[in-house]
């Protein structure tokens, strides 16, 4: 077909054959029941697949392909970057094997299985309700999972600046390209991050993340499990959500959210925790591992490192913080400009710990004891620190006095 605006209609007989090479523009091919083997080299071609097999090669720009119930093998693009550009393919219900090299292609998934390699830049894949197996090598490709619960999105991404949005699909994704962006959805989310500077945004479904590079994570309302690696990870907890993190060599910065619960397992890298109202963080670490530095905020929050033997630093904020340092040598730090008259609780103060009070007048500090509550140190601005494990005994008074440093 070399002429423009030519229409070809396949036969209704099952097993009939339609072979066509199309270089004319604005061609329309409708396979019907024929097994079609078609090369669409002209611009603005329109091809309707039928009930037979469909083998298509698209090198012309702006093609529109409409799949059917039959299986399809489709190649979009050729030797030149402009080949097959701006193709639009509505995938059918059969199994579709798709290779895309042309730029700015759009795939609209169906109910069947899609096996696709997305090599062109700027492509868009609207995954269907079936199983979607994707290999993304092109840059700036966007993939949107289906809204059908139980649909499957499996993707291996090496192109840069990819955007993945799982929607309701269960996603299993490896993000190997730099600067990837992934939105978790309502399904399960299993992510492996090897590309630099990825950003992950949690959803309502459970999420498991393993990362070896610098990564920014935003937790959702679902549970998140994180395994860190050589890169630094910043994890912002989700409001009402929960996170379980294992710190890698690159370290972890955890920003708690309101009514958030988190569990952090120490590693060789350091850990910083920024507290938030009604947030609770549990920290576990063994001697020789890097400790945690905790910065309390303006709300009532809890840092429980009582099961750790690392050396930890705990900074009070303007809220009422409950802090447990564990069996290591811990530093509890109070800056007058930060505490603003807060009332804090330390549960396990020991002779290996230190209390640093900056900006306070030691001559205006006093201690008192309340049975069942512990020993309370009242500072010059009204800030109160209660040590629930200390009594009014001379040895506990001496322990606190020797460990307190004003500056």
Run of H or E including 337: helix 336-339
The string of pLDDT tens digits covering residues 295-321 is 999 889 999 999 999 999 999 999 999
Task: Give me 282's structure tokens.
Answer: 């549990």
Q: How confident is the model at residue 66 (pLDDT cuts 50, 70, 90)?
A: very high
Q: Report percent pLDDT > 70 for the chain.
A: 100
The string of pLDDT tens digits covering residues 256-274 is 998 999 999 999 999 999 9
Q: How confident is the model at residue 16 (pLDDT cuts 50, 70, 90)?
A: very high
Beta strand spans in 113-251 (E): 114-118, 124-126, 131-136, 142-144, 152-157, 163-165, 170-175, 181-183, 189-193, 198-201, 207-211, 215-218, 223-227, 233-236, 242-246
The string of pLDDT tens digits covering residues 319-360 is 999 999 999 999 999 999 999 999 999 999 999 999 999 999
Q: What CA–CA distance (Å, rounded) separates 261 from 279?
A: 6
| Mean per-residue pLDDT of the chain | 97
DSSP secondary structure string for all residues of 48-103? E--SS-EEEEE-STT-EEE--SS-EEEEE--SSTTTTTT-EEE--SS-EEEEE-ST
- What pTM was estimated for this model as a whole? 0.93
The whole-number average pLDDT for the span 202-221 is 97
pLDDT at residue 299, as a whole number: 86
Whether residue 81 is predicted with pLDDT greater than 90 in this model: the reply is no
Q: How confident is the model at residue 20 (pLDDT cuts 50, 70, 90)?
A: very high
Q: Report percent pLDDT > 90 for the chain.
A: 98
Q: What CA–CA distance (Å, rounded) separates 188 from 170?
A: 5
């Amino acid at each position: 077909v070399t002429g423009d605006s030519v229409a070809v209609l396949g036969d209704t007989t099952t097993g009939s054959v339609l072979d066509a090479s199309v270089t004319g523009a604005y061609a329309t091919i409708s396979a019907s029941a024929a097994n079609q083997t078609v090369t669409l080299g002209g611009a603005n071609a329109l091809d309707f697949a039928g009930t037979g097999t469909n083998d298509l090669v698209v090198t012309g720009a702006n093609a529109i392909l409409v799949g059917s119930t039959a299986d399809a093998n489709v190649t979009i693009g050729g030797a030149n970057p402009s080949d097959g550009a701006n193709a639009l393919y509505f995938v059918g219900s059969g199994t579709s094997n798709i290779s895309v090299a042309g730029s700015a292609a759009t795939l609209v998934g169906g109910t069947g299985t899609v096996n696709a390699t997305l090599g062109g830049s700027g492509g868009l894949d609207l995954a269907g309700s079936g199983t979607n197996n994707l290999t993304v090598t092109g840059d700036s490709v966007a993939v949107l999972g289906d809204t059908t619960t139980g649909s499957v999105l499996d993707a291996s991404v090496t192109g840069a600046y990819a955007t993945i949005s799982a929607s309701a699909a269960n996603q299993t994704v490896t993000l190997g390209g730099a600067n990837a962006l992934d939105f978790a959805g309502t399904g399960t989310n299993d992510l492996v991050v090897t590309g630099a500077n990825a950003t992950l945004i949690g959803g309502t479904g459970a999420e498991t993340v393993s990362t070896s590079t610098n990564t920014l994570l935003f937790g959702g309302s679902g549970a998140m499990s994180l395994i860190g690696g050589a890169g630094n990870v910043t994890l912002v907890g989700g409001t009402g959500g929960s996170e379980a993190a294992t710190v890698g060599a690159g370290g972890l910065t955890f920003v708690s959210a309101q009514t958030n619960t988190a569990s952090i397992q120490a590693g060789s890298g350091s850990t910083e925790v920024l507290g938030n109202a009604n947030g609770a963080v549990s920290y576990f670490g063994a001697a020789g591992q890097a400790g945690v530095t905790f910065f309390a905020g303006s709300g009532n929050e809890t840092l429980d490192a009582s099961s750790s033997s690392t050396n930890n630093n705990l900074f009070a904020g303007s809220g009422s913080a409950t802090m447990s340092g564990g069996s290591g040598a811990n530093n509890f730090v109070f800056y007058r400009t930060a505490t603003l008259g807060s009332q804090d609780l330390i549960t396990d103060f020991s002779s290996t710990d230190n209390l640093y009070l900056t900006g306070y007048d030691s001559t205006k500090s006093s201690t008192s004891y309340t049975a069942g509550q512990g020993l309370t140190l009242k500072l010059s601005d009204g800030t109160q620190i209660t040590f629930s494990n200390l009594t009014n005994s001379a040895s506990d008074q001496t322990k606190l006095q020797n460990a307190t440093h004003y500056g």
